[in-house]
Amino acid sequence: MSEYFLYVGNQPGYNDIYGQSQGTNTSRTVSGIPTDGRTIYVRLWSKIGSSWQYRDYTYTAALIGVTPVPATMISPANGSTLSGSTVTFQWNSGSLIQEYFLTIGNSLGSNDIYGQSQGTNLSRTVTGLPTDGRTLYVRLWSRSGSTWYYRDYTYTASGNKFYIGQYVQVYNTNGLGLNLRSCASTSCSVIVNMPDGTVMQVIGGPSQANGYTWWNLSGYVGGAFRSGWAVQDYLR
């Protein structure tokens, strides 16, 4: 090689950060490179005879003195019930973010329903979502430089969580149990308290009251056959 020329820029082939002949030197210390996590594009030119050829490289700038802000979901609202099997998720850009990744799953952090890079897009329409009332876990990842950050969201799938005749189990009451009531309201009398692990059959519902979804259940609790209403939140 008879000469080298080095470009450093904010886009491929640009030299808006640095651009200079290196003569026959095989190294160069470049100062003044941004430190905000952006992508840096480097082009190394080589002169062979009278012809110039180049190779391109990309780097991620260091993050010094700045704090990235991960993206936040704008819609649907966290904790809401989705409208159907096709939903458009929309988020803001955050700050100093170069890529987004969206996962949807049946448990926290999982992607068994959907998982894909969104590039720099700020929305994604996802199809094929369940419509059985289950809880869906959404994680929105944001990449700044080489570091990934995330925010978690939960939604309720459209449709009913249970169906008539299905067997359900009491869970996640932290030892407090779930009250089986005489009707679908917190003002109705308690028939029995069902401990975690109790299995009951759905015989009616759902019904909406007091901000809860209620199901009519029947089965054995403590050796006695019982029937009544219980809130959906502690049933699976």
Return the pLDDT at 236.
93
Residue 26 φ then ψ, to 5°:
-110, 20
153/160 Cα distance (integer angstroms): 20
Write the single-letter amino acid at 108. L
What are residue 215's DSSP bridge partners? 230
Tell me which residue has tokens 């994680």: 139
Number of other CB atoms surrounding residue 213 within 10 Å: 20
64-91 pLDDT, tens digit per residue, is 888 899 999 999 999 998 989 999 999 9
Write the single-letter amino acid at 198. T
Return the pLDDT at 23.
95
84-122 pLDDT, tens digit per residue, is 999 999 999 999 899 999 999 999 999 999 999 999 999
Report which of residues 160 and 13 the model is more confident about: 13
53/100 Cα distance (integer angstroms): 34
87/129 Cα distance (integer angstroms): 8
Burial 137-156 (b: 16+ CB within 10 A, else e): bbbbbbbbbeeeeebebebb
Give the mean pLDDT of the chain. Answer: 94
Residue 1 pLDDT greater than 90, yes or no: no
pTM, entire model: 0.57
180-222 pLDDT, tens digit per residue, is 999 999 999 999 999 999 999 999 999 999 989 999 999 999 9
22-47 pLDDT, tens digit per residue, is 999 999 999 999 988 889 999 999 99
Classify 214 as helix, strand or coil: strand
- Write the DSSP symbol of residue 135: E
